[in-house]
Structure 1
Amino acid sequence: MQTLPVNGYDMAYLDVGRGPPLVCVHGSLCDFRIWSAVLGPLTARHRVIAVSLRHFFPEHWDGAGDTYSIAQHVEDVIAFIAQLDAGPVDLMGHSRGGHVSFRVAQRRPDLLRKLILAEPGGELDATLDPTAKPGAPSPLAARFAASAEKIAAGDVDGGLAFFMDALEGPGAWARLPATPKQLLRDNAFTLIGQVRDNRPPFSMSDAEAIRTPTLFIGGANTKGALPQVLHALAGHVKGSQTQMIPGTTHPMFEQAPQQYCEIVLRFLAE
């Protein structure tokens, strides 16, 4: 593990392999360790740089303060890539990290060569979803808020179980092995920050503004709003590609790492 001072914060990251740089941004309740299943195949051809965003492990944050937000994380990733001084990089983000990566591509396309979005998290505005109600929290966001309330009250496992079952279906937390459970515990208090995120919804103009060559990846069995967001954005990012991995859900690169890497490496080699 290494650190790089970014906007007054020491951002931790892993830097493995040689070749064109691929920066990886994790999602909610995760950190740079989440990419472990794909490091082997990806580092055969690329220098993989997996970051931990502000307040995620190895920091043990207590959820206090106002420095956890999409806007802050976007600024941090932009500054991190600029300080790498490695030329345009390939950027890959999963879930909330996909949202961060999307906003980086909006703001600083000059820093990027290609963009990979694995089920980017977020909401759609009325230009992409006519049923959207401005300011109304999604059912999933309401569940996340309830999870964060449990965590803040000291019931970390109860809050995480509520979160995972909302995302992956009843019993998801109970089915998780011990190692991924501990990774979630290590980042549990970031969920308190996330419910205060004020994350802007995606709009049609946002999607149409992306000019970086983009690949969308999804789990073919993912339920809920995530597939809707993926396909809505993909339909308006000019020239984008979409690949759905059969038999997988939201953590598709953990469930089918070989297939995921084949898709990514093929896209990066084009």
Structure 2
Amino acid sequence: MSGPHTAWTERTVVRDGVRLVARDHGGAGRPVLFLHGLAGYGGEWDATVAGMCGRYRVVTLDQRGHGASERRPPGGDMSRSAYVADVIEVITALGLDDVALVGQSLGGNTAMLVAAARPDLVRALVMVEAGARGMVTREVDRIGAWLDSWPVPFGSLDAAAEFFGGGPAGAGWAAGLERRAGGWWPRFDAGLMVRSLAGLVRPSFWSEWRRVACPALVVLGESGIIPLDEQREMTSARPGTAMVTVPGAGHDVHLDAPEALRAVLTGFLERHL
């Protein structure tokens, strides 16, 4: 199979009855596993990973409840622990030991928790627009209201891209939709997306952040969502953490500026893989 930027082979891993689907872009180098954010899918990394397979084995995962993976996991389990266990299973099943984990937003939190729990598996960590603070209920409610506001089905991908704000990020969000009866629909259940955020409603993840033993990079968008005081606290809580801001990018750095993000990633990975 192929996307607009790179060829890939579909890999399926099943954990506790949950089907997890990954895009294996190949490559003979050390493994790099990419984790998307809430309501995303693995294909949104295509433009970022283009050209990386000459140096690394690149895999992008559709996490539970998202994309081509299990739409409605048994019992509706969208807990942080389930996401973490899924990633550990994928790493093991696909032979990605000593992996570099790259995660954006919710995927960045998952990547951090995996690195903290299994330092034997993770060689390097990259968190894109993800921090170590938790969320409060009103933030979850706001995101839930936004998901409910989607005028589905969209009549066209162009209409969807416009709804999502246009530009590369809008097109990237639209590309994650699927065509079904009546138009273009999200490949997730909005209620389960809100449930995914429930595990983030806590004061912080500072203890997990401090347990990360591998080299770590935090990538921020110039107009992203991680406050300056949280950025400072992340570097002070874990000295040696690298932090880079991508000009002109928002929260979806990988969609707004994939080439710039790729350059940042490869520079970091060359030093630590």
Q: Give the TM-score range, shorter chain.
A: 0.7 to 0.9
Name the structure where strand makes up a greater proportion of residues. Answer: 2
Question: Could you say which residue in structure 2 is the equivalent of 1:161?
Answer: none
Contact 2:52–2:58 (CA under 8 A) maintained in structure 1:
yes
Q: Distance in 1 between matches of 2:115 and 2:70?
A: 29
- Deviation for aligned residue 1:112: 0.6
Closer, same or farther in 2 for the Cα pair 1:123/1:87, shift >3 Å? closer
- Deviation for aligned residue 1:212: 1.3
> What does 1:132-211 align with in structure 2 at a 5 Å threshold?
136-138=136-138, 140-150=139-149, 155-156=151-152, 173-175=164-166, 177=170, 180-184=173-177, 187=186, 189-197=188-196, 198-200=198-200, 201=202, 202-211=204-213
Q: What is the identity, as a one-letter code, of the residue corresponding to 2:164?
A: W
Aligned length: 244
Closer, same or farther in 2 for the Cα pair 1:188/1:64, shift >3 Å? farther
> Which secondary structure does the structure 2 equivalent of 1:30 belong to?
coil
Q: What is the identity, as a one-letter code, of the residue corresponding to 1:26?
A: H
Q: Distance in 2 between matches of 1:50 and 1:26?
A: 8
- Deviation for aligned residue 1:178: 5.2
Question: Could you say which residue in structure 2 is the equivalent of 1:256?
Answer: 257
Question: Could you say which residue in structure 2 is the equivalent of 1:168?
Answer: none
Could you tell me which runs of 5 or more consecutive residues in structure 2 were left unpaired when the two chains were aligned. Answer: 1-9, 155-159, 178-183
Closer, same or farther in 2 for the Cα pair 1:173/1:236, shift >3 Å? same
> Which secondary structure does the structure 2 equivalent of 1:254 belong to?
helix
**CA deviation profile, 1:191-245 (whole Å, cap 9, x unmatched):** 31132232243243222211111000010122x4566545433332232100001
Tell whether 2:39 aligns with 1:29: yes
Q: What is the identity, as a one-letter code, of the residue corresponding to 1:143?
A: R
- Deviation for aligned residue 1:24: 0.6
- Deviation for aligned residue 1:254: 1.9
Q: Distance in 2 between matches of 1:116 and 1:5?
A: 25
> What does 1:36-55 align with in structure 2 at a 5 Å threshold?
36-55=46-65
Identity among equivalent positions (%) equals: 24
**40-49 vs 87-96, which moves further:** 40-49
Contact 1:26–1:94 (CA under 8 A) maintained in structure 2:
yes
Contact 1:117–1:215 (CA under 8 A) maintained in structure 2:
yes
Question: Could you say which residue in structure 1 is the equivalent of 2:181?
Answer: none
Alpha-carbon RMSD: 2.8
Contact 2:144–2:194 (CA under 8 A) maintained in structure 1:
yes
> Which secondary structure does the structure 2 equivalent of 1:235 belong to?
helix
- Deviation for aligned residue 1:146: 1.8
Question: Could you say which residue in structure 2 is the equivalent of 1:4?
Answer: 13
Q: Distance in 1 between matches of 2:263 and 2:65?
A: 32
Q: What is the identity, as a one-letter code, of the residue corresponding to 1:214?
A: A
Q: Distance in 1 between matches of 2:240 and 2:188?
A: 38
Q: Distance in 1 between matches of 2:261 and 2:226?
A: 21
- Deviation for aligned residue 1:188: 5.5
> What does 1:21-100 align with in structure 2 at a 5 Å threshold?
21-59=31-69, 61=71, 65-100=75-110
**CA deviation profile, 1:85-139 (whole Å, cap 9, x unmatched):** 34311111011000110110111111011011101167448xxxxxxxxxx424x
TM-score, length of structure 1 as denominator length: 0.79
Q: What is the identity, as a one-letter code, of the residue corresponding to 2:212?
A: I
Contact 2:67–2:188 (CA under 8 A) maintained in structure 1:
no
TM-score, length of structure 2 as denominator length: 0.78
Closer, same or farther in 2 for the Cα pair 1:246/1:40, shift >3 Å? same
